[in-house]
Structure formats: structure tokens, C-alpha cells
Amino acid sequence: MPPGPSLTEARDAEGRIVPAAPARLPDDEESLEVWGFRDSAFAILPNGSVRMSGSRYALSGLELPSLLPWMRRVLGVALDPADPHESSYPPAVPAPRIHPGFQREAADLLPPDGLSADPLVRLRHGHGHTLEEMYLLKYGGFERVPDLVLYPATEEQVEALVAAAARYDVCLVPYGGGTNVTDALRCPADEERTIAVVDLSRLNRILWIDPVNQMACIQAGAVGRQIQAELAAHGFSLGHEPDSVEFSTLGGWIATFASGMKKNRYGNIEDLVLDLRAVTAQGTLGRAAVAPRESTGVDARRVLFGSEGCLGIVTSAVVKIFPLPELQKYGSILFRDFETGVAFLYALEREGGKPASVRLVDNLQFQFSQALKPAAAGLRADA
């Protein structure tokens, strides 16, 4: 069983754990130009090896001698380090089209740092992470980006912003971690109305953890790495691990119908969410308490899954949590060919008792993983 809270830990009136607000770490700054953190990047060394900067990953600081030669062979391109395709970031950012009435009202609702029209801030909130968007960011540009970026810190502020947007005919775009790969953050070039992004990064708390009923209430702007760390400190896991877990948010997972690598054990996001709150143009959708499963009527909250923010702005959700596993064990199997691997997965499905995560990769992906091995050291280097 997970450890219980200490005697000095904050509790609410129902005895649930109330974690403190998360601290913002200085090395958690995300890159504006590429995917990832600002302290993590790949560089080609004079000897032809590749090294990853920073210290947060297992590969950080290590030489990868096989990566560049493997890429040359696979791509059939010389990839000369002396001939880089230099980025032209930042591109020109279109001038904002701001409705003055909405801007004044938003400024009254939010603190002084709760509203930004900075060109680079607007640019970052106007794209996701598709390959095309990443290319345009460095070598092209965007015809239309958001005009304002808003940072509400409470659900009440979100409600007021939605109501103001309705009055002034302003477009609102919810924003979580910005990892979208479906072009959902791209602004239509012909949109003449003000486009304002509602950045939920300040609604980032785990409001409570119920260790008895194994539930937690989490605000929509909490990112996956933060959720993992805070729940683990209390002996629990959400179990939802999409590839973007370091940067994507709970609200984003709901809005995009997300799936994770460990869905065999924990389920997809719709299996984990017990209740949610969302602000819509017609009012706030929510209940005073988490009720058991209901067998009558239509659950309107389910419509929000996969809605990409078009129907409302998710502000928080109650989710299932699970005790941390006593053991995590990893293994791999090499198959003669891809078809044999597929047959194995079919057999595994029929047998039941699947591992939390199973992934079948083709030969090219396997080669890539081998190319990421660091340089040998010690006796291995002399062999």
C-alpha cells in the first residue's frame, strides 16, 4: 500500500491530501524554437560524434559515435557538419488585430502579467509540433498567429474571459502544453476577428489526493512530468504516459482523446477521468461532488473528449490513481521478421495478462535505437 500522509501534511475537511503549489524550476524552461527543454540539444563534435547537452537524460553529456554515420547511410545524404542549414528563427510575426474593448476587460480581470501581446509569445502559442510547423518556425513563417495570450489563474477568471469573448465576438483558443500534432493551434489566415489564446499553465495544481478511494483532482494546466512527480511523492501514479508526457497537460489529454504507452494496464484518458469541469459559452459544466457511475441519461461531459477545445475549456478533472508498482521490469524480444512479431502480439492479446506497455518496432527503428548507444568505455573500449 502507498505510504500515508505525514501528520504535518495539509488536509482538507474530508481528510484528503492537499499538495502544495508546484515550484517552477529554473532548468524547466522549454525551447521556443524546437521540441524540448532549452538545456537539451544535440551538437556534432570535431571527431564526428554527436553529444547531447544538459543533464536531465541518460544520454546527456555522452558521445554517440554511431548516430551520424547511421543517419548518412539511411538517408543517403552526406550531412556535412560544415554545411548547416541555419535557422532563421524568429520569423516575421504578423501584427496583432486586437479588439480594444476585450483587451481592456481582460486587463481588468487578470493581473498585470496575465496578458501578453509579445510577438514571440504570440508566435509560440500559434503552432503545435507537426513537422511542417517546426519547419515553418525555423525557415518560413505563419500568416496568422494569435493576437493576445491570456494567463488565467482561477476557474472564475476563465469564466469571465469566456463571457467577455462572447460579448466582443472574440475567438478563444485553449492552450495546454503546445504539443499538438493535428494543426489544431494553427490560426486561419482569413480570420479577421481577434484571436486570444487562453494559456492554462497557471491552473497547474493537484487540488487534492484521496488515498482511500484512489482519486485525485487535478487542474487542467498541470503537465505530465509534474503530475507524475507529485503523485509519486505520495505513493501513487496516474499511469498515463503519452510520448509528450513531459510537456503535455491533463486538459490537453482530454481535449485530444489521448492514449498512453501503458494503456494496457491503466487505460486511455477516457478510462481514467471520473469527472471534469469545463467552461463553455453557455456556462460552466460541472458537479458539486464526484458521483458513482450513472446508468440514466446522457453524460454531456463525454462530448468534450476529443473536442480539441471547440466546445469548452476544461479547467480540472477528477482522475483515478493507482499505487506505484512494486517492481518495474523491462525486456525485449528479437523476431525473425516483422510478421512474426505481429503474430506474437495477436497471441499475447488472446492469452491475456499483457504487460503494461508492449511496442513492436520495425528494423529501422531498432537500428536507430542501436545508433543511440554511447561510446564504449573501460574494457569494452579496448575489446
Interval 159-170: pLDDT, tens = 999 999 999 999
Contact yes or no for 176/255 (Cβ under 8 A): yes
Kindly report, residue by residue over 26-36, the tens digit of the pLDDT.
Answer: 668 899 888 89
The architecture (CATH level 2) of 206-291+299-323 comes to: 2-Layer Sandwich (3.30)
The two beta strands, 195-199 and 148-150, are parallel
Overall pTM > 0.85: yes
All residues at 6 or more sequence positions from 80 whose CB lies less than 8 Å from its CB, including other chains? none
Percent of the chain with pLDDT over 70: 95
pLDDT at 335 over 50: yes
Q: What's the pLDDT band for 1 if we cut at 50, 70, 90?
A: very low
Kindly report, residue by residue over 84-139, the tens digit of the pLDDT.
Answer: 999 999 999 999 999 999 999 999 999 999 999 999 999 999 999 999 999 999 99
pLDDT at 5: 47
CA-based radius of gyration for the chain? 23
For residue 42, the one-letter residue type is F
Please, where in the chain does CATH 3.30.465.10 lie?
A: 206-291+299-323
Residue 55 has, within 13 A of its CA and on its CB side, a CA count of 1
The architecture (CATH level 2) of 100-199 comes to: 2-Layer Sandwich (3.30)
Please, where in the chain does CATH 3.30.43.10 lie?
A: 100-199
Mean pLDDT score across all residues of the chain: 92
